[in-house]
Amino acid sequence: MQPEKTRLDKWAPFLIFIAAMLWASDGPFRYHLTQDLSAGFIVLVEHFINSLIVLPFVILGWKEIRGLRWREWLTLIGIGIGASALATILFTASFSYINPSAAIVLQKLQPLIAIALAVIFLREKTGKRFWIWATLALVGGYIVSFPGIIPTVYEGEVWSPNTIGVLCALGAAILWGAGTVMGRSVLRTVSFRTVTAMRLLIAFVFLMVWNTPENIADSITSLTSKDVLFLIIVSLVSGVLSLLLYYHGLSRTKASVASIAELGFPFLAVIINTATLHVFLEPMQIVGMILLVLAVWKLTQVKKTDIIPPSISNNS
């Protein structure tokens, strides 16, 4: 039984990588939805559908939820409002002020943010092998997004909108990076199913307040059958399914390793953008893809003692 658990721990970062790739797979569906619906409403409906799906987790884990301490509640609220609701809204808003490529590359700061927070608050330590492959993963992710190394700046951009867009993108990166660290922290004492359920429910309650009744009513009346179908697809693929994989992997992975594994998001996002725009990958992008996949795979080879500190017990 022990070898099986060790094998699962070994491949935990790859579960996070798969979850991140699922997050990126909803691009074509989300693009269609944003043509007629506001970002806030889309995120609200996603969380509504996902909240219905995770209700059984709440019922089954009610005893655990009732036993949560105030610090765990604060952490879950921070994850739900910050990493689940606000980060997505900020990231979407940044597209209105700066080019999407610039917004995506700023998300590469997430690993650095998460590593810094993990070292400060979780007192995690990283070995030499981690830093080697983490650096290569960052380099690979950057090359995939920017094969020309230097990001292209669109004509007509002025300082003020750029500043707003950069702040929105950085805000999303900080919230997502902090969410990784907070998630790893609360998973010490709370099961990954409960964390997933509470994250979605808390975010849904917040988004109900965020969206005005008028906006919700107008958006509902304008929904088409295709909109409903795409909302369900987005909710299932990039919502509860990816979150369950994510927190299952995160419960057995250091926050710093998890943030690097999350680079699967820009990795697949570039592929999807290339396919939908009918543009072939450039040679440098292929090099970056290979480097990123190799680096994330090598991160799964890191010793268990370098992934999970002995002081942390897995209660999921």
Query: Which residue, 173, 189, 188, is CA-closest to 259?
Result: 173
What Cα–Cα distance (Å) separates residue 2 from each residue in 5, 6, 13, 31, 293?
5, 6, 19, 45, 28
CA separation for the pair 87, 79 (Å, rounded):
10
Structure tokens at 62: 């009610």
Q: Note the pLDDT of residue 309.
A: 41
pLDDT for residue 133: 79
- How many residues would you count in the chain? 316
End-to-end CA distance of the chain: 16
User: What is d(CA 259, CA 266) in angstroms, rounded to the nearest whole number?
Assistant: 12
Q: Is 282 helix (H, G, I), strand (E, B) or coil?
A: coil
The pLDDT, as a whole number, for residue 3 is: 43
How do the pLDDT tens digits run along the chain, 316 residues long? 444 455 666 788 888 888 888 877 777 787 788 778 887 898 899 899 999 999 998 998 899 999 999 999 999 999 999 999 999 888 877 777 766 656 776 776 676 677 667 767 767 676 777 778 778 877 877 776 666 666 555 555 544 466 677 788 888 888 988 888 888 889 888 888 899 899 999 999 999 999 888 788 888 998 999 999 999 998 888 788 888 888 788 778 776 677 677 766 666 776 776 677 565 567 887 787 788 778 766 765 654 444 444 333 333 3
The reported pLDDT for the residue numbered 93 is: 75
**Contacts of 133-137 spanning 24+ positions with Cβ under 8 A:** 133/260, 133/295, 133/298, 133/299, 133/302, 134/256, 134/257, 134/260, 134/295, 134/299, 136/291, 136/294, 136/295, 137/111, 137/260, 137/263, 137/291, 137/292, 137/295, 137/296, 137/299
Q: What is the pLDDT of residue 301?
A: 60
List % helix, strand, coil for the chain (3-state, nearest 5): 80, 0, 20
Q: CA distances (Å), 238 to each of 85, 200, 232, in order?
A: 14, 12, 10
